[in-house]
Amino acid sequence: MKISIAQLNYHIGNFEGNTAKMIDAIKLAKEQGSDIVCFSELATCGYPPRDFLEFDDFIHLSDECIQQLCAYANGIAIVVGAPSHNLDPKGKNLFNSVYFLADNKIQFVQHKTLLPTYDVFDEYRYFEPAKEWNVVEFQGKKIALTVCEDIWDVGTDDPLYTIIPLDEMQKHNPDFIINVSASPFNFEHAHARIHTVRANVARYQIPMFYVNHCGAQTELIFDGGSIVMSGKGTLVDELPYFEECIRHYELTDVVNATVNSEQPKNKMTLIHDAIVMGLKDYFRKLGFNKAILGLSGGIDSAVTAVLAARALGPENVRVILMPSQFSTGHSVDDALGLVNKLGIAHDIIPIKDMYDAFMEKLSPIFGDLPFNVTEENIQARVRGILNMAISNKFGHILLNTTNKSEMAVGYGTLYGDLCGGLSVIGDVYKTEVYELARYINKDEEIIPLNSIVKPPSAELRPNQKDSDSLPDYDTLDPILYQYVEKRQGPQDIIDMGYDPALVKRILRLVNINEFKRYQTAPVLRISTKAFGMGRRMPIVGKYLS
């Protein structure tokens, strides 16, 4: 038996496009003599469809997609994820299912059992869990079909669920497992994915074919990395990250494999490639191709500009330099150096006169009150207005350049530097931004060295440095990581050796600035806990306030 894995980039609600991709893959698999071709979870409609699942027409179009695929299920079987109808009047109206198509019809449907409701997932909102677990027989083999989360409770010391679907399927003595997944990327996930697949094959002693999504859907990025593993735990193949790919495997070769084939997993390579894909798909799937951003000469906007140029092409990136009376000459020079290196378009719009005009109109109201964050925010909002005006006039998407450390503690101005249609590095801590800059410069100096080595500053008042109001990022970021990613409370973090007053101050800043994050652009997710849909915090709360 020959099995093909089709690791594809789907588009939510683009039934025609998704179906065409799968038909092309089916034809290729047939040419290779495959008996089965496997697609991923909710491949017909894309993942996560969210409340589109509540539209009857959306489900009808998915059903039509399955029927179109049935027409190609002759001489080959098709495994594909799609929503299916719950005909029982009790429970949710839909299942998250995997279909087995052969001889031009639906031969078997297995529903997903474990419906995650943590982090970015909210599947129990829409789907009913499976209550029956069977296998499908094809060409003398018994196949256990599973959907994503159904394998993830094996090999963990802290199970989330009370049932393991494959334990039930094992009663039917399957010969191998196919798992269709839509498993979002984070830079630690590739290791976890291999561990999970290996834990399952160790438990059941049969091979697994694991097929994952590739591509980005707004803030969620899917890295692919589909896996073929023997029943003895040999990693037969790990498909490329961030690329569409179709590969073909003889089952006998998989069963007898002894050589592991694992991809390298460099953190910065993964983060860089994930963000580039996230940018590319956000623009492509929305029908845009040009971006603008404010370029200050600092490291955050420099890294964002490089990533945008690599994702969209330098001809599609335009940067706006908006120096004020507080900007240093070297900041403008650093920004222009990057512009020339990347070959991107730029405009220079000094903002001093605009800032002075605001201050003149406000002076009768402000009176003799001292200069403070108000005047700093006016500068940021002038820049935001200019960026948004150019965005609107030319139909470009404004990219937000705020990093995760700044976003965490509220070190940004609403309707100013927090403007944008997409937050590019909002899940990258400041210390990681430096790592990413050095990674970008690994072969040649692209980001000017001065942008990397100079003390970070918003340049909103004379001689300002971030360290005037924040601890050094080498201290700040580990505390933020423990609170945001690891959900450690203040005493837990203090017990790690951090200053109690500093810990309490930082955690309070995180909590009281939730209202800002609530109003900012979607953040490309590259960590285990990003700001946005996967971190649901109240705006009004007393904890640590």
Q: Which of 112, 280, 290, 430 is catalytic?
A: 112
Q: Which of 65, 70, 148, 214 is catalytic?
A: 148
From the list 30, 77, 19, 17, the residue with the least C-alpha distance to 246 is 30
Burial class (CB in 10 A: 0-12, 13-18, 19+), 284: middle
148 classed as catalytic? yes
Structural element, H or E, at residue 422: strand 422-423
CA–CA distance from 425 to each of 122, 466, 488, 506, 514 (Å)?
Answer: 25, 18, 23, 20, 18
Residue that the structure tokens 């080498």 belong to = 474
Report strand pairing: 77-85 vs 317-321.
unpaired
Report strand pairing: 227-229 vs 235-238.
antiparallel
Q: Which of 41, 128, 219, 238 is catalytic?
A: 41
From the list 307, 377, 381, the residue with the least C-alpha distance to 344 is 307
| Pair of tokens at residue 93 | 């109206």
> Is the distance from CB of 129 to CB of 120 less than 8 angstroms?
no
| Pair of tokens at residue 73 | 């299920």
41 classed as catalytic? yes
Residue that the structure tokens 């083999």 belong to = 141
What is the CA angle 94-95-99, rounded to 5? Answer: 125
Residue 483 bridge partners (DSSP): none
Catalytic residues: 41, 112, 148
